Amino acid sequence: MTWQFDTQVIHAGHPANDPTGSVTAPIYQTSTFRQTEPGVNGGYGYARTDHPTRHALEENLAALEGARYGLAFASGMAAIHGVLSTLKTGDHVVSTQDLYGGAWRIFTKFFAKFGIEFTFVDASSVEAVADAIRKETKLLWLETPSNPLLKITDITACARVARSRGVKTVVDNTFATPVLQRPIELGADLVVHSTTKYINGHSDTLGGAIITNDPALYADLKFFQNAIGAVPGPQDCFLILRGAKTLSLRMERHCSNAELLARFLSAHESVRRVYYPGLIDDPSHATARRQMTRFGAIVSFDLDASLEETRNFTRRVNLWTLAESLGSVKSLFCHPASMTHASVEPEVRRAVGISDSLIRLSAGLEDVRDLIEDLDQALAQTRRGKIRKTA
Ligand X SMILES: *Cc1c(COP(=O)(O)O)cnc(C)c1O
User: Which uninterrupted H or E stretch holds 212?
Assistant: strand 208-212
The one catalytic residue among 69, 151, 154, 172: 172
Closer residue to ligand X, CB minimum distance, 232 or 278: 232
Q: How many CB atoms lie within 10 A of CB 304?
A: 18
Residue 356 annotated to the active site: no
Chain positions 146 to 205 lying near ligand X, rule: CB under 6 A, are: 147, 172, 174-175, 194, 196-197
Identify the sign of the CA torsion 26, 32, 34, 40. positive
Closer residue to ligand X, CB minimum distance, 75 or 153: 75
Residue 218 annotated to the active site: no
Per-residue binding string, ligand X, 55-84, x by CB under 6 A, is --------------------xxx-------
Per-residue binding string, ligand X, 334-363, x by CB under 6 A, is ------------------------------
Q: How far is CA 290 from the centre of its chain?
A: 20
DSSP 351-382: HHT--TTEEEEE--SS-HHHHHHHHHHHHHHH
Stretch that binds ligand X, among 63-71, 98-106, 158-166, 245-253 (CB under 6 A): 98-106
Closer residue to ligand X, CB minimum distance, 288 or 379: 288
Total residues contacting ligand X by CB under 6 A comes to 16
Q: Give the integer Cα–Cα distance in Å for 368 and 72.
A: 33
Residue 250 annotated to the active site: no
* 145 preceded by a cis bond (ω within 30 of 0): yes
The one catalytic residue among 197, 250, 294, 360: 197
Cα 327 to Cα 3, 94, 354, 365, 369, distances in angstroms: 26, 27, 21, 10, 19
Residue 204 annotated to the active site: no
Query: Which residues of the chain form contacts with ligand X (CB under 6 A)?
Result: 75-77, 100, 102-103, 143, 147, 172, 174-175, 194, 196-197, 206, 208
Active-site residue numbers? 48, 100, 172, 197
